[in-house]
Structure 1
Amino acid sequence: MTRTTVSGAVGQGTGRRLSYVAFAAVIVVYLAIIQVGGLIVRNAFGAERDTMTTTYGVLVSMVLPLGVALLFVYGVVAYLGWWQPVLRDDRPVRLWVMIVPAILVVAILLAINYGALLGKGFAFILVFLLATQLVGWGEEGLFRGIGVTVLRQHGLREGQVALWSSLIFGAAHLSNAIGSGVSALPQALVVSFAGYFFYLTRRVSGGNILNSVLHGLFDFSLLTGTAILANQGSYPGTLAPILVYIVLAVLLLVRRRKIEPAGDPTGGTA
């Protein structure tokens, strides 16, 4: 990694240049902190069971490793000198794209299992919300922050940035095969679509904050209908994100040529 001037699409100011190999190494370390570090922490603190059904389990199995992973991501951002391009996005899209985060908010509100949360208590809700926000800020900082900046820095057109940042995001979730086996494969595919939605949210909001918050809330809503319901049936609200994926996919496919501002020379997101 060498110091260079970072300008234009990746923000104003100076910063280091990150190679694709170095970016891959950053991803591997991030995943290792969560997967391997999480396993070590769970064993050390006796939280091998019910990792997401008790306040203590969430603190040990999620908040601790995710917190360290988040510090690692933004430590990398600080080392690279990329605060500007990671936290702000200077590639606007047309205003109608704001419908993407708006629809995501609707999905979040529909998917939350309010009854299950109330049964868990206030302390659990706060800790679980913290844990999922750590996921959102960590993954968005890594994939939509550092990842998008790396791809732009290497001269990719914006359509390529959208595609590859989303695919890399999905591929990284294959690491979940450690705990869930082959079910991680369809999850990686679905996550790639989600990555594109968060990418558009970053661009339409002009920064990496809204997509980070929504990412965390999206995971929060999904997990309230699945992971915290030990020995119970599935929650119908979890169908909302699936329907939203379909709606957004169709909408963006139909309007793919109306995402970039008129006359934009960067290649578009189609």
Structure 2
Amino acid sequence: MTAEPIQGRRRLPIWGFILLAIGYLVVIQTVPLLTTPDGAEYGNFETVSEITRGLWVTTGLGCLIVLIAVAVLRWWRPVFVEENRLPRWVWLFPAVMLFAIVAGTAYSRLADKGLTFTILLLLGTLAVGFSEEGIFRGIGVVSFRDAGYSEGMVALWTSVLFGLAHATNIFSEGIGAIPQVLTTAIAGYFFYLARRVSGTLIFPMVLHGLWDFGLFTNTIGDDIGLGAMLFILADIVLAIVALVTIRKVFARSSSTSAESPAES
């Protein structure tokens, strides 16, 4: 991090952001090796102990890293407030994701685990949304904007880096993590749009957390829940919509600066 002021705040160059993201990944990948109960599988939580000792410890440290970085950089407003809004039709993306979450969550499996398990899992996944969105759609977006990148390149590179960050899961999941890199990068674009259309980073943080919550409920037990197919279908549908509309999104935003709201 450098101390060069930009509009009264500190500056973080792209290489500084990448180092921050790497440090974040090192923490969240190594800490579970020390705290997670023996026999626990990545993304599959069966007991309260696995949630608290695996998910909570990891995401708690991730959230702390985000908060410290934002405080040091003095980036509270540019990270959490989006001035350059997209038109209202872009709400289609988070709307489809919310539908998939509501319809695809495995409620019966949660009922079998009980209320305490459900609440702890929900809070843990919301912390995932806070930390990952804070790093990539928060600090990452501001860093690339400050470096002079166009909004299209901001969306591209923060999404690509978000996907590559999940390549570290190869150490815990093996080669099964490779397709996750592509799907996560695409999801990163959806979360970027959620930030732009809602006007705040808080919304994609919550959306991300709920999305992971719904997915994780379908991994409870010995087999994958049928609801997982709905999440996959939503990804496919939104990916197609994204390809069709991407020029419309960035043709509109390219005529506005990152500090000026787009017309809706």
TM over 0.5: yes
Long gaps (5+) in structure 2: 259-264
Distance 1:267 1:77, change over 3 A: closer
- In the alignment, which residue of structure 2 is the partner of 1:34? 28
Q: Does 1:2 align with 2:2?
A: yes
1:254 to 220, 224, 244: 244
Distance across 2 between alignment mates of 1:267 and 1:195: 22
- In the alignment, which residue of structure 1 is the partner of 2:51? 58
- In the alignment, which residue of structure 1 is the partner of 2:136? 143
- In the alignment, which residue of structure 2 is the partner of 1:105? 98
Long gaps (5+) in structure 1: 7-12
- In the alignment, which residue of structure 2 is the partner of 1:162? 155
State the 1:225 CA deviation.
0.4
State the 1:266 CA deviation.
5.3
State the 1:190 CA deviation.
0.3
State the 1:21 CA deviation.
2.1
Q: Does 1:133 align with 2:158?
A: no
Deviations along 1:115-164, one digit per CA (max 9) or x if unpaired, are 10000000000110111011000000000000000100100000000100
Q: Does 1:184 align with 2:182?
A: no
Structure 2 residue identity aligned to 1:38: P
Distance across 1 between alignment mates of 2:149 and 2:203: 24
2:232 to 242, 246, 252: 242
- In the alignment, which residue of structure 1 is the partner of 2:60? 67
Deviations along 1:21-59, one digit per CA (max 9) or x if unpaired, are 2211211111122110111123xxxx1224610011110
Q: Does 1:48 align with 2:38?
A: yes
Deviations along 1:41-89, one digit per CA (max 9) or x if unpaired, are 23xxxx1224610011110011012101111111101000100110011
Distance across 2 between alignment mates of 1:177 and 1:214: 25
Give the SS at the match of 2:101.
helix
- Maintained 8 Å contact 2:218/2:227: yes
Alignment of 1:222-241 (within 5 A): 222-226=215-219, 228-229=220-221, 231=222, 233-241=223-231
Q: Does 1:200 align with 2:200?
A: no
- In the alignment, which residue of structure 2 is the partner of 1:88? 81
Which moved further from structure 2: 26-35 or 209-218? 26-35
- In the alignment, which residue of structure 2 is the partner of 1:10? none
Structure 1 residue identity aligned to 2:88: L
State the 1:253 CA deviation.
1.9
Distance across 2 between alignment mates of 1:239 and 1:50: 24
TM-score under structure 2 normalisation?
0.92
Give the SS at the match of 2:10.
strand
Structure 2 residue identity aligned to 1:157: S
Which moved further from structure 2: 135-144 or 102-111? 102-111
- Maintained 8 Å contact 1:157/1:267: no
State the 1:261 CA deviation.
7.5
Give the SS at the match of 2:3.
strand
Give identity over the alignment, percent: 40
Higher relative contact order (Cα pairs below 8 Å, separated by 6+ residues): 2
Runs of 4+ in 1 over 6 A off after TM superposition: none
State the 1:263 CA deviation.
7.5
TM-score under structure 1 normalisation?
0.90
State the 1:236 CA deviation.
1.0
- Maintained 8 Å contact 1:92/1:260: no
- Maintained 8 Å contact 2:84/2:256: no
Give the SS at the match of 1:90.
coil
Report how many aligned residue pairs link the two structures.
Answer: 255
- In the alignment, which residue of structure 2 is the partner of 1:172? 165
